[in-house]
Amino acid sequence: MIQFARRGASDRTAALRTAIETARRRFREKWGIASDADIEIAPMAAAQSAGLQAADYLLWALQRLYERGEDRFVELMWPIFRTVHDIDDTRATEYGAYYTQKKPLTLETLKKRLPGI
């Protein structure tokens, strides 16, 4: 099951389903591996799901780091992050940089890339 936070009045379920089916098709074409597993999509208000509330908080902490240079929330929550993929950090690779427990995302890391932070 895929749960995602409902935002506003528009229903994005069809768009998400289309994106998932496109990804399945491309994966099958590239790797020759097909999946016919059922995928249930459940849009809901974040208040209805503790998992969505946690995801919202983690994303908010990252937003504070990137937009305001405020790292206290990311530092507090970093032990539960597994991977952050910064697709805009193409200094080393064209697909971006990955940050993990062994290579944490810090304010100092961002300052090297975004001097104005």
Domain ranges of the chain: 1-44, 46-117
If pLDDT is split at 50, 70 and 90, which confidence band does 10 have?
confident
pTM > 0.85: yes or no: no
d(CA 70, CA 55): 18
pLDDT digits (tens, 9 = 90+) for 27-76: 999 999 999 899 999 999 888 999 999 999 999 999 999 999 999 999 99
Residue 88, both tokens: 């805009």
Q: Are 97 and 89 in contact (CB under 8 A)?
A: yes
d(CA 14, CA 9): 14
Average pLDDT, the chain: 92
